[in-house]
Structure 1
Amino acid sequence: MALNNLNYPLDFKFKISTLASDFNITDRNGNYVAYVRQKMFKLKEDVIVFNDESKSKELFRIKANKWIDFNSSYSLTEVATGRSFGRLARKGMRSIWKASYDVLDGNDQAKFKIQEDNAWVRFFDGMVGEIPVIGMFTGYFLNPTYTVSGIDGKAYFKLKKMPSFFGRRFQLDRLVDINDDDESAVILSLLMMTLLERARG
Structure 2
Amino acid sequence: MSHSTELPALYRTNRFLARRKVLTLVGASFHLFDDDGELLAYSRQKAFKLKEDIRIYADEDQSIELLTIQADRVIDFSAAYSVIDATTGLKVGSLRRKGMASLMRDTWEILDDAGRVRGQMIEDSAGLAILRRLIDFMTILIPQKFRVEFDGRPVASIVQQFNPFVHKFTVELFDDGTDAPRPLLIASAILLLAIEGRQG
3-state SS of 2:96 partner: strand
State how far apart, in whole Å, the 1-side matches of 2:126 and 2:180 are: 30
The normalised TM-score by structure 1 is 0.84
Instruction: Report if aligned partners of 2:123, 2:129 keep a CA contact under 8 Å in 1.
Output: no
State how far apart, in whole Å, the 1-side matches of 2:142 and 2:39 are: 28
Match of 1:15 among 7, 15, 21: 21
The answer to whether structure 1 residue 105 and structure 2 residue 112 are counterparts is yes
3-state SS of 2:73 partner: coil
Gaps of at least 5 residues in structure 1 are 130-134
Q: String of CA shifts for 1:173-201, please: whole Å, max 9, x gaps.
A: 12333567612111112211332111122
Q: String of CA shifts for 1:137-189, please: whole Å, max 9, x gaps.
A: x55323110000122x2211000001322452110012333567612111112
State how far apart, in whole Å, the 2-side matches of 1:120 and 1:156 are: 23
State how far apart, in whole Å, the 2-side matches of 1:181 and 1:103 are: 10
Correspondence 1:149-168 to 2 at 5 A: 149-151=149-151, 153-166=152-165, 168=167
State how far apart, in whole Å, the 1-side matches of 2:104 and 2:195 are: 14
The answer to whether structure 1 residue 175 and structure 2 residue 181 are counterparts is no
Match of 1:74 among 73, 81, 87: 81
Name the aligned partner's letter for residue 195 of structure 1.
A
The answer to whether structure 1 residue 91 and structure 2 residue 85 are counterparts is no
Q: String of CA shifts for 1:64-86, please: whole Å, max 9, x gaps.
A: 00110532100111234321111
Gaps of at least 5 residues in structure 2 are 1-6
Instruction: Report if aligned partners of 1:85, 1:181 keep a CA contact under 8 Å in 2.
Output: no
State how far apart, in whole Å, the 2-side matches of 1:181 and 1:115 are: 16
The answer to whether structure 1 residue 122 and structure 2 residue 129 are counterparts is yes
State how far apart, in whole Å, the 2-side matches of 1:54 and 1:15 are: 18
Match of 1:33 among 19, 35, 40: 40
* Count of aligned pairs between the two proteins: 192
State how far apart, in whole Å, the 2-side matches of 1:167 and 1:124 are: 21
The normalised TM-score by structure 2 is 0.85
Task: Please say which of residues 10-19 and 141-150 is displaced more in the overlay.
Answer: 10-19
Change in Cα spacing, 1:126 to 1:45, as seen in structure 2 (3 Å) is same
The aligned residue for residue 57 of structure 1 is 64
